[in-house]
Amino acid sequence: MQEVRFGIIGIGNMGTGHIENFEEGRVTGGKLVAICDLLEEKHKEHPNYKFYTDYKELIDSGDIDAVIVATPHYSHTYIGAYALSKKIHTIVEKPISVHKADCLKLIKAHDDKNVVFSAMFNQRTIPQHIKLKELIPTLGELQRVTLIATNWYRTNAYYRSGSWRATWSGEGGGILLNQMPHHLDLVQWLCGMPCAIRAFCEFGKYHPIEVEDDVNATLFYPNGAVGNIITTTGEAPGIFHLEIAGDNGLLIFQDGIIKVIKNKVGTAEFNRTTIEPWADPEIEGVYEYKEEFVPHLFQHAIITQNVIDAIREGKTLIAPAEEGINSVELANAMIYSTIMNKKIDLPLDPEAYAKVLEGLKDKK
Protein backbone atom coordinates (compact mmCIF):
# COMPACT_ATOMS: atom_id res chain seq x y z
CA MET A 1 0.00 0.00 0.00
CA GLN A 2 1.24 3.50 -0.81
CA GLU A 3 2.39 5.89 1.89
CA VAL A 4 -0.23 7.87 3.78
CA ARG A 5 0.03 11.53 2.81
CA PHE A 6 -0.21 13.84 5.84
CA GLY A 7 -0.99 17.48 6.39
CA ILE A 8 -0.46 19.37 9.64
CA ILE A 9 -2.77 22.22 10.59
CA GLY A 10 -1.27 24.62 13.14
CA ILE A 11 2.49 25.11 13.10
CA GLY A 12 3.09 26.23 16.66
CA ASN A 13 5.14 24.37 19.24
CA MET A 14 3.34 21.07 18.82
CA GLY A 15 2.86 21.28 15.07
CA THR A 16 6.58 21.92 14.70
CA GLY A 17 7.24 18.84 16.82
CA HIS A 18 5.11 16.74 14.47
CA ILE A 19 7.10 18.08 11.50
CA GLU A 20 10.30 17.00 13.26
CA ASN A 21 8.95 13.48 13.75
CA PHE A 22 8.41 13.13 10.01
CA GLU A 23 11.73 14.72 9.09
CA GLU A 24 13.67 12.57 11.54
CA GLY A 25 12.13 9.38 10.18
CA ARG A 26 10.37 8.42 13.41
CA VAL A 27 7.34 7.18 11.46
CA THR A 28 7.21 4.86 8.48
CA GLY A 29 4.52 4.32 5.89
CA GLY A 30 3.53 7.99 5.98
CA LYS A 31 4.96 11.22 4.61
CA LEU A 32 4.31 14.87 5.31
CA VAL A 33 3.33 16.74 2.16
CA ALA A 34 1.56 19.91 3.29
CA ILE A 35 1.23 22.29 6.23
CA CYS A 36 -1.30 24.96 7.13
CA ASP A 37 -1.08 28.01 9.35
CA LEU A 38 -2.56 31.50 9.43
CA LEU A 39 0.94 32.99 9.49
CA GLU A 40 2.67 33.11 6.10
CA GLU A 41 6.12 33.16 7.75
CA LYS A 42 5.63 29.55 8.81
CA HIS A 43 6.17 28.61 5.15
CA LYS A 44 9.59 30.28 5.21
CA GLU A 45 10.49 28.21 8.27
CA HIS A 46 9.34 24.99 6.54
CA PRO A 47 9.73 25.57 2.79
CA ASN A 48 9.76 21.89 1.76
CA TYR A 49 6.01 21.45 2.05
CA LYS A 50 3.03 22.78 0.14
CA PHE A 51 1.63 25.62 2.23
CA TYR A 52 -1.94 26.71 2.99
CA THR A 53 -3.41 29.43 5.17
CA ASP A 54 -6.96 28.02 4.95
CA TYR A 55 -7.58 24.62 6.52
CA LYS A 56 -10.52 23.93 4.21
CA GLU A 57 -8.34 24.47 1.15
CA LEU A 58 -5.80 21.98 2.49
CA ILE A 59 -8.45 19.38 3.33
CA ASP A 60 -10.19 19.83 -0.04
CA SER A 61 -6.96 19.91 -2.04
CA GLY A 62 -6.60 16.20 -2.72
CA ASP A 63 -3.01 16.47 -1.49
CA ILE A 64 -3.56 14.56 1.75
CA ASP A 65 -5.08 11.39 3.13
CA ALA A 66 -4.67 12.29 6.81
CA VAL A 67 -4.33 15.39 8.95
CA ILE A 68 -2.96 16.29 12.35
CA VAL A 69 -4.89 19.16 13.99
CA ALA A 70 -2.58 21.11 16.31
CA THR A 71 -4.38 24.44 16.51
CA PRO A 72 -5.75 26.37 19.53
CA HIS A 73 -8.35 24.37 21.44
CA TYR A 74 -11.71 25.71 20.24
CA SER A 75 -10.82 25.12 16.60
CA HIS A 76 -10.27 21.39 17.18
CA THR A 77 -14.03 20.85 16.93
CA TYR A 78 -14.80 22.53 13.63
CA ILE A 79 -11.51 21.67 11.89
CA GLY A 80 -11.73 18.05 13.01
CA ALA A 81 -15.39 17.79 12.01
CA TYR A 82 -14.66 19.26 8.57
CA ALA A 83 -11.80 16.82 7.98
CA LEU A 84 -13.96 13.87 9.00
CA SER A 85 -16.81 15.05 6.74
CA LYS A 86 -14.35 14.94 3.83
CA LYS A 87 -13.23 11.37 4.71
CA ILE A 88 -9.79 12.52 5.82
CA HIS A 89 -8.18 10.39 8.54
CA THR A 90 -7.77 12.68 11.53
CA ILE A 91 -5.56 13.05 14.59
CA VAL A 92 -6.61 15.78 17.03
CA GLU A 93 -4.28 17.15 19.67
CA LYS A 94 -5.50 17.30 23.26
CA PRO A 95 -8.08 18.27 24.32
CA ILE A 96 -10.22 17.01 21.47
CA SER A 97 -12.59 19.91 22.24
CA VAL A 98 -12.92 22.53 24.97
CA HIS A 99 -16.18 21.31 26.45
CA LYS A 100 -18.37 18.24 26.39
CA ALA A 101 -21.02 19.65 24.05
CA ASP A 102 -18.35 20.32 21.40
CA CYS A 103 -16.86 16.86 21.99
CA LEU A 104 -20.24 15.35 21.18
CA LYS A 105 -20.44 17.40 17.96
CA LEU A 106 -16.97 16.25 16.91
CA ILE A 107 -17.66 12.61 17.75
CA LYS A 108 -20.97 12.75 15.84
CA ALA A 109 -19.04 13.93 12.79
CA HIS A 110 -17.17 10.62 12.79
CA ASP A 111 -19.95 8.81 10.97
CA ASP A 112 -17.73 6.70 8.68
CA LYS A 113 -15.80 4.12 10.69
CA ASN A 114 -13.53 3.48 7.71
CA VAL A 115 -12.07 6.89 8.50
CA VAL A 116 -9.49 6.63 11.29
CA PHE A 117 -10.01 9.15 14.08
CA SER A 118 -7.47 9.35 16.91
CA ALA A 119 -6.66 11.62 19.82
CA MET A 120 -3.03 12.51 20.50
CA PHE A 121 -2.90 10.91 23.93
CA ASN A 122 0.79 10.21 23.66
CA GLN A 123 1.15 9.37 27.35
CA ARG A 124 -0.68 6.11 26.71
CA THR A 125 2.51 5.04 24.89
CA ILE A 126 4.81 5.51 27.89
CA PRO A 127 6.06 2.06 29.00
CA GLN A 128 5.50 2.90 32.67
CA HIS A 129 1.89 3.83 31.99
CA ILE A 130 1.33 0.66 29.98
CA LYS A 131 2.74 -1.29 32.94
CA LEU A 132 0.36 0.54 35.29
CA LYS A 133 -2.56 -0.54 33.11
CA GLU A 134 -1.34 -4.13 33.37
CA LEU A 135 -0.81 -4.05 37.16
CA ILE A 136 -3.94 -2.28 38.38
CA PRO A 137 -6.29 -5.30 38.00
CA THR A 138 -4.03 -7.22 40.39
CA LEU A 139 -4.84 -4.70 43.13
CA GLY A 140 -8.44 -5.89 43.36
CA GLU A 141 -11.35 -3.54 43.93
CA LEU A 142 -10.38 0.13 43.78
CA GLN A 143 -10.33 1.94 47.14
CA ARG A 144 -8.42 5.16 46.46
CA VAL A 145 -6.55 6.99 43.73
CA THR A 146 -4.35 10.00 44.51
CA LEU A 147 -2.67 12.04 41.79
CA ILE A 148 -0.38 14.96 42.59
CA ALA A 149 0.78 16.67 39.40
CA THR A 150 2.52 19.89 40.37
CA ASN A 151 5.34 19.57 37.83
CA TRP A 152 3.61 21.95 35.45
CA TYR A 153 5.28 25.19 36.60
CA ARG A 154 4.73 28.04 34.16
CA THR A 155 5.90 31.66 34.18
CA ASN A 156 4.03 34.83 33.32
CA ALA A 157 6.18 34.97 30.17
CA TYR A 158 4.73 31.63 29.10
CA TYR A 159 1.18 32.92 29.45
CA ARG A 160 2.11 36.05 27.47
CA SER A 161 3.53 33.94 24.61
CA GLY A 162 0.13 33.74 22.88
CA SER A 163 -2.93 35.97 23.12
CA TRP A 164 -5.18 32.88 23.21
CA ARG A 165 -3.40 31.36 26.19
CA ALA A 166 -5.05 31.25 29.62
CA THR A 167 -8.29 32.88 28.48
CA TRP A 168 -11.85 31.57 28.55
CA SER A 169 -12.33 32.60 24.92
CA GLY A 170 -8.97 31.24 23.70
CA GLU A 171 -8.37 28.03 25.67
CA GLY A 172 -11.60 27.55 27.59
CA GLY A 173 -9.68 26.91 30.76
CA GLY A 174 -6.21 26.81 32.25
CA ILE A 175 -4.18 23.93 33.59
CA LEU A 176 -7.12 21.52 33.24
CA LEU A 177 -7.51 22.19 29.51
CA ASN A 178 -3.86 22.71 28.61
CA GLN A 179 -1.43 20.78 30.78
CA MET A 180 -3.63 18.21 32.53
CA PRO A 181 -5.64 16.51 29.74
CA HIS A 182 -3.00 13.77 29.50
CA HIS A 183 -3.09 13.06 33.23
CA LEU A 184 -6.87 13.26 33.41
CA ASP A 185 -6.97 10.77 30.55
CA LEU A 186 -4.47 8.61 32.43
CA VAL A 187 -6.63 8.53 35.57
CA GLN A 188 -9.80 7.53 33.70
CA TRP A 189 -7.88 5.09 31.46
CA LEU A 190 -6.51 3.33 34.54
CA CYS A 191 -9.38 3.63 37.02
CA GLY A 192 -12.51 4.40 35.03
CA MET A 193 -14.78 7.41 35.28
CA PRO A 194 -16.07 8.66 38.64
CA CYS A 195 -19.75 9.24 39.24
CA ALA A 196 -19.33 12.67 40.87
CA ILE A 197 -16.75 15.40 41.43
CA ARG A 198 -16.28 18.16 44.00
CA ALA A 199 -13.52 20.56 43.04
CA PHE A 200 -11.93 23.78 44.19
CA CYS A 201 -10.27 25.67 41.35
CA GLU A 202 -8.46 28.95 41.95
CA PHE A 203 -8.42 31.35 39.03
CA GLY A 204 -5.30 33.45 38.56
CA LYS A 205 -3.87 32.48 41.95
CA TYR A 206 -0.24 32.56 40.81
CA HIS A 207 -0.47 34.44 37.49
CA PRO A 208 -2.40 37.44 36.11
CA ILE A 209 -4.72 35.19 34.07
CA GLU A 210 -8.47 34.58 33.83
CA VAL A 211 -8.45 30.83 34.20
CA GLU A 212 -7.53 28.19 36.77
CA ASP A 213 -3.87 27.69 37.71
CA ASP A 214 -4.47 25.72 40.93
CA VAL A 215 -6.89 22.81 41.42
CA ASN A 216 -7.86 20.47 44.24
CA ALA A 217 -10.53 17.93 43.32
CA THR A 218 -12.20 14.93 44.93
CA LEU A 219 -13.54 12.15 42.71
CA PHE A 220 -16.29 9.78 43.85
CA TYR A 221 -16.51 6.35 42.23
CA PRO A 222 -19.60 4.13 41.92
CA ASN A 223 -18.14 1.47 44.26
CA GLY A 224 -17.44 3.99 47.02
CA ALA A 225 -13.77 4.56 46.17
CA VAL A 226 -12.48 8.11 46.37
CA GLY A 227 -9.92 9.94 44.25
CA ASN A 228 -7.93 13.10 44.83
CA ILE A 229 -6.29 15.26 42.18
CA ILE A 230 -3.96 18.14 43.06
CA THR A 231 -2.38 20.19 40.30
CA THR A 232 -0.98 23.67 39.73
CA THR A 233 1.24 25.74 37.43
CA GLY A 234 2.48 27.85 40.34
CA GLU A 235 4.54 25.42 42.39
CA ALA A 236 8.25 24.64 42.05
CA PRO A 237 9.91 22.27 42.46
CA GLY A 238 6.94 20.22 41.38
CA ILE A 239 6.26 16.51 41.55
CA PHE A 240 4.33 13.80 39.75
CA HIS A 241 3.10 11.22 42.23
CA LEU A 242 0.41 8.59 41.70
CA GLU A 243 -0.99 6.19 44.28
CA ILE A 244 -3.66 3.59 43.65
CA ALA A 245 -4.94 1.57 46.59
CA GLY A 246 -6.95 -1.57 46.08
CA ASP A 247 -8.23 -4.38 48.24
CA ASN A 248 -5.09 -6.43 47.50
CA GLY A 249 -2.43 -3.78 47.94
CA LEU A 250 -0.94 -0.41 47.07
CA LEU A 251 0.68 0.89 43.89
CA ILE A 252 3.00 3.92 44.01
CA PHE A 253 4.40 5.60 40.90
CA GLN A 254 7.01 8.34 41.14
CA ASP A 255 10.25 9.28 39.38
CA GLY A 256 9.52 6.71 36.67
CA ILE A 257 9.51 3.79 39.13
CA ILE A 258 6.45 1.69 39.93
CA LYS A 259 6.33 0.10 43.38
CA VAL A 260 3.64 -2.42 44.28
CA ILE A 261 3.06 -3.64 47.83
CA LYS A 262 0.83 -6.73 47.81
CA ASN A 263 -1.12 -8.22 50.73
CA LYS A 264 -1.33 -11.96 51.30
CA VAL A 265 -5.02 -11.53 52.10
CA GLY A 266 -7.25 -8.74 50.81
CA THR A 267 -8.15 -6.03 53.30
CA ALA A 268 -11.91 -6.75 53.17
CA GLU A 269 -11.43 -10.45 53.84
CA PHE A 270 -8.84 -9.78 56.56
CA ASN A 271 -11.18 -7.29 58.19
CA ARG A 272 -13.96 -9.90 58.32
CA THR A 273 -11.88 -12.81 59.52
CA THR A 274 -9.17 -11.58 61.89
CA ILE A 275 -9.70 -11.72 65.65
CA GLU A 276 -6.74 -9.41 66.31
CA PRO A 277 -7.76 -5.82 67.18
CA TRP A 278 -4.47 -4.19 66.09
CA ALA A 279 -3.43 -6.42 63.20
CA ASP A 280 -2.56 -5.51 59.61
CA PRO A 281 -2.68 -7.93 56.68
CA GLU A 282 0.67 -9.64 56.15
CA ILE A 283 2.69 -8.31 53.22
CA GLU A 284 3.12 -10.87 50.46
CA GLY A 285 5.86 -8.92 48.72
CA VAL A 286 7.15 -5.59 47.46
CA TYR A 287 7.81 -5.36 43.74
CA GLU A 288 9.53 -2.63 41.72
CA TYR A 289 9.27 -2.07 38.01
CA LYS A 290 11.60 0.13 36.00
CA GLU A 291 11.02 0.76 32.33
CA GLU A 292 13.02 2.70 29.77
CA PHE A 293 11.88 6.31 29.33
CA VAL A 294 10.49 7.33 25.94
CA PRO A 295 11.26 10.98 24.95
CA HIS A 296 8.30 13.33 24.51
CA LEU A 297 8.27 13.68 20.72
CA PHE A 298 8.90 9.96 20.28
CA GLN A 299 5.65 9.35 22.19
CA HIS A 300 3.80 11.49 19.64
CA ALA A 301 5.48 9.58 16.84
CA ILE A 302 4.15 6.31 18.28
CA ILE A 303 0.57 7.64 18.10
CA THR A 304 1.10 8.86 14.53
CA GLN A 305 2.61 5.50 13.59
CA ASN A 306 -0.35 3.73 15.20
CA VAL A 307 -2.73 5.79 13.02
CA ILE A 308 -0.72 4.95 9.90
CA ASP A 309 -0.86 1.27 10.82
CA ALA A 310 -4.61 1.54 11.46
CA ILE A 311 -5.13 3.08 8.02
CA ARG A 312 -2.90 0.62 6.16
CA GLU A 313 -3.33 -2.57 8.18
CA GLY A 314 -6.43 -2.14 10.34
CA LYS A 315 -4.46 -2.02 13.60
CA THR A 316 -6.37 -1.13 16.79
CA LEU A 317 -6.00 2.49 17.88
CA ILE A 318 -4.12 3.28 21.07
CA ALA A 319 -6.21 6.40 21.66
CA PRO A 320 -9.56 6.41 19.85
CA ALA A 321 -10.71 10.03 19.70
CA GLU A 322 -14.12 9.10 21.12
CA GLU A 323 -12.36 8.37 24.44
CA GLY A 324 -11.12 11.97 24.50
CA ILE A 325 -14.49 13.11 25.82
CA ASN A 326 -13.70 11.61 29.23
CA SER A 327 -10.78 13.88 30.12
CA VAL A 328 -12.71 16.90 28.84
CA GLU A 329 -15.70 15.94 30.99
CA LEU A 330 -13.47 15.64 34.07
CA ALA A 331 -11.96 19.08 33.42
CA ASN A 332 -15.35 20.66 32.74
CA ALA A 333 -16.85 19.12 35.87
CA MET A 334 -14.03 20.48 38.05
CA ILE A 335 -14.53 24.01 36.77
CA TYR A 336 -18.33 23.66 36.94
CA SER A 337 -18.16 22.37 40.52
CA THR A 338 -16.12 25.41 41.53
CA ILE A 339 -18.40 27.90 39.80
CA MET A 340 -21.56 26.27 41.17
CA ASN A 341 -19.94 25.61 44.58
CA LYS A 342 -21.28 22.08 44.83
CA LYS A 343 -20.65 18.43 43.99
CA ILE A 344 -21.39 17.67 40.34
CA ASP A 345 -22.86 14.34 39.32
CA LEU A 346 -21.58 12.65 36.18
CA PRO A 347 -22.39 12.34 33.34
CA LEU A 348 -22.14 16.12 33.11
CA ASP A 349 -24.97 18.07 31.49
CA PRO A 350 -23.12 19.34 28.38
CA GLU A 351 -25.45 22.23 27.60
CA ALA A 352 -25.52 23.50 31.17
CA TYR A 353 -21.73 23.67 31.28
CA ALA A 354 -21.52 25.24 27.81
CA LYS A 355 -23.82 28.01 29.06
CA VAL A 356 -21.63 28.61 32.12
CA LEU A 357 -18.53 28.75 29.90
CA GLU A 358 -20.16 31.36 27.66
CA GLY A 359 -20.87 33.41 30.78
CA LEU A 360 -17.20 33.21 31.79
CA LYS A 361 -16.19 34.48 28.35
CA ASP A 362 -18.58 37.41 28.67
CA LYS A 363 -17.04 38.51 31.97
CA LYS A 364 -13.72 39.28 30.30
pLDDT digits (tens, 9 = 90+) for 312-345: 999 999 999 999 999 999 999 999 999 999 999 9
Do 100 and 169 fall within a single domain?
Answer: no
Degrees, nearest 5: CA angle 182-126-259: 100
Estimate the crossing angle of helix 75-85 against helix 100-109, to 10 degrees. 10
- How far apart (Å, rounded) are the C-alpha atoms in residues 299 and 2? 24
If asked whether residues 351 and 224 sit together in one domain, one would say: yes
pLDDT tens digits for 258-267?
A: 999 999 999 9
Interstrand relation of 283-290 and 257-263 (parallel, antiparallel or unpaired): antiparallel
What pLDDT does 364 receive? 56
Do 160 and 97 lie in a common domain? Answer: no
| Confidence label for 209 from pLDDT (cuts 50, 70 and 90) | very high
pLDDT of residue 202: 98
CA nearest neighbour of 27 among 312, 291, 324, 293:
312
- Can you give the pLDDT at residue 255? 94
**Residue 275 reports pLDDT greater than 60:** yes
Mean pLDDT score across all residues of the chain = 97
- 199 with 302, same domain? no
Which helix (H) or strand (E) covers residue 210, if one does?
A: none
**Span 351-355, average pLDDT:** 97
- Burial of 298 by CB count in 10 Å (0-12 exposed, 13-18 middle, 19+ buried)? middle
Considering the domain architecture, whether residues 281 and 312 belong to the same structural domain is answered as no
Q: Are 306 and 77 within 8 A, CB to CB?
A: no
Mapping DSSP to helix (H, G, I), strand (E, B) and coil, where does residue 244 land? strand
Q: Within 10 A of 113 (CB to CB), how many other CB atoms are there?
A: 7
Given a cut of 80, whether residue 112 has pLDDT beyond it is yes
Please give the Cα distance from 335 to 177 (Å, whole number). 10
**Residue 230 — very low, low, confident or very high, per pLDDT cuts 50/70/90?**
very high
One domain for residues 273 and 312: no
State what percent of residues in the chain have pLDDT above 70: 100
Classify residue 157 as exposed, middle or buried by CB count within 10 Å of its CB (0-12, 13-18, 19+): exposed
pTM of the model as a whole = 0.96
If asked whether residues 142 and 230 sit together in one domain, one would say yes
Q: If pLDDT is split at 50, 70 and 90, which confidence band does 291 have?
A: confident
pLDDT at res. 162: 87
Q: What is the SS3 assignment for 98?
A: coil
* Predicted confidence (pLDDT) at residue 295 exceeds the cutoff of 80: yes
Tell me which residue of 150, 155, 168, 152 sits closest to 208, measured CA to CA: 155
Count the domains in the chain.
2
Residues 205-222: b if buried by 16+ CB within 10 A, e if exposed: ebbebbbbbbbbbbbbbe
Q: Are residues 287 and 302 in the same domain?
A: no
pLDDT for residue 175: 98
Residues 50 and 167 in one domain: no
How confident is the model at residue 29, as a pLDDT? 98
Same-domain pairing of 307 and 184: no
| Claim to verify: residue 134 and residue 268 sit in the same structural domain | yes
Which domain, by its residues, includes 302? Answer: 4-123+296-319
Contact between 190 and 132 (Cβ < 8 Å): yes
For residue 124, give the DSSP letter: G
CATH number of the domain bearing residue 238? 3.30.360.10
Q: Are residues 163 and 23 in the same domain?
A: no
Arithmetic mean of pLDDT, 116-120: 98
CATH of the domain at 36: 3.40.50.720
